[in-house]
Amino acid sequence: MVELHPEQARAVLADLAIGVVVLDGRECVMWANAHAERLLGAPVSALIGENARVLALPYALPTADSSEQPTVRVRGALVGFTQHYHHATGDGALVMLYERGHALVGFLNALASGVAGGISSIGVLNRAAIKSRLEGEISRSRRYSNPLSCITVHLAGDELLRDMGELARMLKEQLRWVDLLGQWRDDVLLVVLPETTEDAAARLTAKLMGLVAPPPGREQTLTIGCASWRRGDNAERMIRRALTCARQDAACPPASGAGGC
């Protein structure tokens, strides 16, 4: 086990290419590093002592008896991961700030969702984790009638692992912060789209088909399908419907009033 002197730890935090803000129990800034200064657009000297709400930090102050998992908040272009901690003068919070496009955001979101062990070999949620997240969204739709859609991306080929990794990276660039990406099978990626209607899902499906179209003369090895939540749906049924409606030459057309493909 490696142990750092407090001053060494402070130096490491100061030089991190992520924003770090330490809050006291009154939600006031005790310390911040230079990267937080850049992200928040104010010098560290101006941040110290300010209330986090005044600074519009993307955070939710946890309590000492709350879950050990960090809380996640988004505000504008910033994502904040907040973790409770206890220091010499009382309880407080450590807030890690990232821009939405930061490479660590997807992984930390998985940690914050309690699926730290749910990452597949290509760096996305594994089957159990993505199914759990989809089931949670289905429960919300069932209770509040929120729109919900999913997209399946099926890839065939000899170098599947390498190609799936590249495909996952491409998909991440096209998705919103709230969207979820996982590996349903070795050859299938699953995108969960909360608060997304069937028309919006069909438009995204068509856009993705355009991005992955093969050059002239090369066989298409990828199919994309979409499905929207219907009453009575579970995760397996939604995914099966998306896989069934997958087309090689076009996005699945929305079936108005039918809840998707």
DSSP line for the chain: -----HHHHHHHHHH-SSEEEEE-TTSBEEEE-HHHHHHHTS-HHHHTT-BTTTTT-S-----TTS-SSPEEEEETTEEEEEEEEEETTEEEEEEEEEETT-THHHHHHHHHTT-TT-B-TTSSB-HHHHHHHHHHHHHHHHHH---EEEEEEEE--SSHHHHHHHHHHHHHHHS-TT-EEEEEETTEEEEEEET--HHHHHHHHHHHHHHTPPPTTS---EEEEEEE--TT--HHHHHHHHHHT-BSSSPPPP-TTTT--
State residue 242's pLDDT score.
95
Size of the chain, expressed as the number of residues it contains: 261
- Predicted confidence (pLDDT) at residue 258 exceeds the cutoff of 50: no
Average pLDDT along the chain:
79
Q: Are 29 and 97 in contact (CB under 8 A)?
A: no
Instruction: Mean pLDDT check: name the lowest of 41-55, 167-181, 183-197, 216-230.
Output: 216-230
At 1, the pLDDT band (50, 70, 90 cuts) reads very low
At 235, the pLDDT band (50, 70, 90 cuts) reads very high
